[in-house]
Amino acid sequence: MPELRNKKVGIIACSGEELPEGLVSRLVALKVLHDLQPGRTVTLCLPLFLAGGVGDRAFAKLYPTIAIDGCDKRCAFRATEKYSSKPVESVVISEINDQRGYGSLGGLRQVSNAGRVLVNTISLQISQSVDSLLADQDGHSVESTNSENELSEDQNNNVGTCSCGSNIPVMILDIDGQKKEMVALPIIFENFANANRIADGELGNDLLEQAKVYTAIEPGKDTEYKEALLGAYKIFLRDQKKGGEMITIKVLGPGCDNCKKVEANTMDALAELNVDADVVHVTEHDAIYAYPILGTPGLVINEKVVCAGRIPSKDEIKQFIKQAK
């Protein structure tokens, strides 16, 4: 599952209007959002959540969420657990009122004095939970991954944040001429890149499965989505390399068939990894034996001898390159 560097806490509250407890739950959510934890919490819309809201459901998968329910039906908690993941905390207004004996909470449009006391009490309780959940990143808010891994010029306008206001990064892909918003895709790409995953068919399947967690994929469109995801991932990798140092690879040898085979395997490995590198064939005797090798051919990556006296396979060279990145 993709992980965000900084988190916010989601608050999803009961939407029921037939009980005063529903009103209390919504007032609690608003107080936490605007008064106690501004900038550190996001409210999720339960009706939109139930209707299939991509942004709200994705948020609850990516971030810790607290459910505030008016009664023991626990609609907010159950919906979050069913469509996203289990909330980190469940607050039920009716249960707390029964335990503490506040009495009548008021009507459907206005809470009583007891109701206001309960709103304040529960709001403080939830605010303390938010502090605990975000204790390791106090004072930070969620930042779009796009600010740290800029995409290429032709993709830059296709990256933004989710319309739910949560700052979950999204990317727009072209699927058969239709623009499709893919939630959390920059984070997914970053995690696969950090794992040194190459843009091959196997990764296409993995990208698709991960994307399906956050975005609804139309039936029968898997192939089109895989192609688009792999294409976007290749651009992501290319642009990551723009900000880093170029890998330098040297093939050491007089130019014999074995040396040429090492160079050919190296070029194939680079192509499969979709990695750019400066490849040089060193043929002069003194330059070759300036490196600590006993025989040729030799392979040097970023001035480190990784193989000498034999022909490394393409797969071996791929591992050497991954270790050097």
| Alpha-carbon radius of gyration of the chain | 27
Is residue 12 within 8 Å of residue 87, measured between CB atoms? Answer: yes
Cα separation, 133 vs 122, in Å, equals 17
Q: Give the separation between CA 287 and CA 255, rounded to whole angstroms.
A: 14
Catalytic residue check, 45:
no
Amino acid at 77: F
Are 22 and 91 in contact by the 8 Å Cβ rule? The answer is: no
Q: For this structure, is 256 an active site residue?
A: yes
Rounded Cα gap, residues 229 and 106, in angstroms = 53
In 10 A of CB 26, how many CB atoms? Answer: 19
Strands, E assignment, the chain? 9-13, 41-44, 65-69, 89-92, 159-161, 169-175, 178-183, 247-252, 277-282, 298-301, 304-308
Q: From the candidates 14, 75, 162, 259, which is the catalytic residue?
A: 259
Sheet holding 169-175, edge to edge: 159-161, 169-175, 178-183
Name the residue among 118, 116, 129, 131 with its Cα closest to residue 92.
118
153: left (phi over 0), alpha (psi -120 to 50) or beta: alpha
As a whole number of angstroms, the distance between CA 77 and CA 257 comes to 67
- Which residues participate in catalysis according to the annotation? 256, 259
